Amino acid sequence: MKHEKQKTREGFSSSIGVIAAVLGSAVGLGNIWKFPYVTGANGGAAFILIYLLCLALVGLPVMLSEHLIGRNTKANAVGAFKVLQPRKPWFLVGGAGVLSAFLIMAFYTSVAGWIYAYIFKAASGSLLSTNPQETSLVFKTLVSGVGEPLFWQVVVLLVTGTIIMAGVTKGIERVTKVLMPLLFVLLIVIDIRSLTLPGAAEGLSFLFKPDFSKITVSVVLAALGLAFFKLSVGMGAMITYGSYVGENENLPKMALKVALSDTLVSLMAGIAIFPAVFAFGFEPDAGPPLLFITIPTVFSSMPFGGVFMVLFFVLTAIAATGAMLSLLEVPVAYLTEQHHWSRRNATLLTILGIGLLGSTATLSNSILANITLFGKNFFDFYDFTTSNVLLPLGGIFIALFVGWQWGQSNVYQEISNNGQIANKGLARIFLILVRYVVPVGIILVLLAGLNINIIGFLLKLLGIV
């Protein structure tokens, strides 16, 4: 059943445009900044294996679920559930997604601001050093400031806001289509340099040789959270983008392509960073600063490094911007469609809200450093509660909705483009995943994260141990 809602609604204009935009949402600071530092902090290769498992069994099915819901309803994250279940509270899942968009943007714009700032620092030559102390100092000085990081955060919001105001086709699609391939090429260049550094082998074995003794509950939770964050799922961004996707796109194929390319970019970022970590004597578990302190040393050790360094930060800024467009689009689509705001006003209100909230994340390295929520500063609090709590919870409900509530035949119709693609077997596997594997898997990980070992508890209850 199709829902004839907004007939004049904008959408992506070509298959290439769809892939570029969806991949543009997935690829971002998650690959280049977060993936390396979370991998570094959680012990390397074993973490990556768990991450890939989470991606395949949980992230990918949730992504497909969101695309199906979005394309079927042609509506925003909240509206989509209202179209499908007008009298039930499922729309709250979309509401939580809108909230998540604000919380993610709060810290994301802060990091994106550092990246924007680094473009200029790289151009001025102040990052040209292979001395870890020097590159660390540049980073510390930036983030512990007040005016400078706030200024860049505002610039980020103005840039993304302007593109969003231009609309889906002329804004999002046009920008992402050109710049994604360029980022890829540049990553290849850095990888070659990184792999030829003395000591590269140690970095590679950290990345690819698993040590399973390093796996703990919090490592698994971090892997699950990263899978959600990476694929931009669990908060309705993929429902919103799915709503702009044409009727003839093969959705399962598209989700798979996006997940594979995204993973490739993450691994390439890992290959860019870890050999340098070991070659220049950094600690792999440096946390959020990792990218900012290691990448300058890689470039500084190669010919024309200064030029490449500028290019690298420009492209990372672009990747971050592509991801932020999808984050902004969630509240903007919600406000324009559910509350009939103009696109311009919806965007302005959204970036204003994010700016206010986001300043607390930015200042959590300086004047707000002593304020903590549940033992975390603002920045870490927004990051942790979204990736490790809100997105997985959203994922459970989206999967349950598609698995149990929407109706098997509706799911099949949408996944097969009304029977045009013969993919019954795939649909069956998908249903098993969203009905059982995704919800049960996430609940076990979340409970374990709260220190509740449910399997141990059951075994005890049954008198087995």
Contacting residue, 18, 21, 23, 25, with ligand PHE by CB under 6 A: 25
Please state the closest distance from residue 320 (CB atom) to ligand PHE, in A. 7
Scanning 125-199, the segments in alpha helix (DSSP H) are 132-143, 147-166, 174-195
Site for ligand PHE in 153-182 (CB under 6 A): none
Instruction: Give the residue with the Cβ less far from ligand PHE, 238 or 277.
Output: 238
Please state the closest distance from residue 231 (CB atom) to ligand PHE, in A. 6
Burial of 353 (0-12, 13-18, 19+ CB in 10 A): middle
Residue carrying the six token digits 């991998």: 39
Does 23 sit near ligand PHE (CB under 6 A)? no
Instruction: Give the residue with the Cβ less far from ligand PHE, 71 or 230.
Output: 230
- Work out the number of other CB atoms within 10 angstroms of the CB of residue 31: 26
Residue of this chain nearest to ligand PHE (CB atom)? 30
Helical axes 290-300 vs 91-124, angle rounded to 10°: 30
Does 104 sit near ligand PHE (CB under 6 A)? yes
Q: Cβ(154)–Cβ(323) under 8 Å?
A: no
Instruction: Give the residue with the Cβ less far from ligand PHE, 329 or 414.
Output: 329
Please state the closest distance from residue 451 (CB atom) to ligand PHE, in A. 27
Site for ligand PHE in 112-141 (CB under 6 A): none
**What mask of x and - would describe binding to ligand PHE in positions 204 to 233, judged by CB under 6 A?**
-------------------------xx-x-
Please state the closest distance from residue 92 (CB atom) to ligand PHE, in A. 18
Q: Which of 377, 392, 320 is nearest to 112 (CA)?
A: 320
Does 29 sit near ligand PHE (CB under 6 A)? yes
d(CA 379, CA 2): 42
Site for ligand PHE in 235-264 (CB under 6 A): 235, 237
d(CA 65, CA 59): 10
Site for ligand PHE in 316-335 (CB under 6 A): 323, 326-327
Scanning 42-146, the segments in alpha helix (DSSP H) are 45-54, 60-73, 77-84, 91-124, 132-143
Burial of 7 (0-12, 13-18, 19+ CB in 10 A): exposed
DSSP letters spanning 251-306: HHHHHHHHHHHHHHHHHHHHHHHHHHHHHTT--TT--TTHHHHHHHHHHHTSTTHH
Q: How many residues does the chain have?
A: 465
Contacting residue, 12, 21, 23, 30, with ligand PHE by CB under 6 A: 30
Does 28 sit near ligand PHE (CB under 6 A)? yes
Residue carrying the six token digits 């509706």: 410
Does 394 sit near ligand PHE (CB under 6 A)? no
- Work out the number of other CB atoms within 10 angstroms of the CB of residue 261: 17
Instruction: Give the residue with the Cβ less far from ligand PHE, 241 or 278.
Output: 241
Single out the segment in contact with ligand PHE by CB under 6 A; choices: 25-33, 86-94, 179-187, 432-440.
Answer: 25-33
Contact footprint for ligand PHE (CB under 6 A): 25-26, 28-31, 104, 229-230, 232, 235, 237, 323, 326-327
